[in-house]
Amino acid sequence: MPELPEVETTVRGLRPVLEGARLALVEPRRADLRRAFPVDLRQRLTGATVTGLSRRAKYGLIDTDRGDTMIFHLGMSGRWRVDPGELLAHDHLVLETGVGRRLALHDPRRFGSVDLWPTADLATFPAFRALGPEPLGLGLTGAMLLAAFQGRRAPIKAMLLDQRIVAGLGNIYVCEALNLARIAPSRAAGRISLFRLDRLVDAVRSVLLAAIEAGGSTLRDYARPDGELGYFSKQWRVYGREGEACPACASPVRRRAEGGRSTFWCPACQRG
Ligand code: ZN
């Protein structure tokens, strides 16, 4: 499932194709993904020029000179195919630029979404209204987490997954960051010192940036016709590595399943 680094990598991969380009063709090939495409998507975007691309949480943002931003989410299985030779069954939205570049949003499970929203008013987009700060932005600090966690007995892992506290963190990167910061996933959030929360913020940034960098290097392999943006392999510290050696202390990594989601951690160095 695409997490923040995959979305960031996707946006960076789309930028050279779309930035400054005119959308000569906008073609939804079905009515919906997780929810309906905007009924006037084709009408509002055809002929528009893309003025910029960015990311908010796990959403990609494509701004246009019409004052509309196209907001896409990759759901469970979404990816953009760049200059595909031929369209496939699960290519649900096709864009073509004025110079003949072609992009296809490919999403077999259709948990993704595409919306249009006024660029000047993005903060009111429903999914953005209650979002916490970006983990790679200046808004996330140990002091901010200390204040947010005050008196909270919920486990630190659950609090980091709460999008109202930090935007865009998913299960994989929370497991990775807690291991790097040597904090137990079950630790009550309100009982972690400022010193350790500062270390946690550094760890969050470090695991995300390493993944984005890995995606960037994989992306070069995708810079060819039929390339796909959205996935890359990554060597995790603890995620998916039950029984293997913790990279910090070499003790075996443990896994605990809870509500369809697994926690991977090292009980030896993630004690407190
Ligand atoms: Zn360890």
Tell me the pLDDT tens digit for each residue of 199-249.
999 999 999 998 888 776 555 544 433 455 545 556 789 998 999 999 999
Could you tell me which of 172, 181, 160, 141 has the C-alpha nearest to residue 235?
A: 172
For ligand 1, the distance from its centroid to the CA atom of residue 40, given in whole angstroms, is: 53
pTM: 0.89
Residue 2 among the catalytic residues: yes
Domain ranges of the chain: 4-124, 142-265
Give the pLDDT confidence of 152-167 residue by residue, as tens digits. Answer: 999 999 999 999 999 9
> Residue 59 and residue 257: Cα distance in Å, rounded?
27
The two tokens of residue 21 are 């380009």
Yes or no: domain 4-124 corresponds to CATH 2.60.40.10: no
**Secondary structure element (H or E) that encloses residue 18, with its range:** helix 4-18
Buried b or exposed e, range 10-33, using 16+ CB within 10 angstroms? bbbbbeebbeebbbeebebeeeeb
Set 2, 5, 28, 185: catalytic member:
2
For ligand 1, the distance from its centroid to the CA atom of residue 141, given in whole angstroms, is: 25
For ligand 1, the distance from its centroid to the CA atom of residue 266, given in whole angstroms, is: 5
**Matching CATH number, 142-265, of 1.10.8.50, 3.40.50.300, 3.20.20.140, 2.60.40.420:** 1.10.8.50
For ligand 1, the distance from its centroid to the CA atom of residue 267, given in whole angstroms, is: 7
Residue 126 among the catalytic residues: no
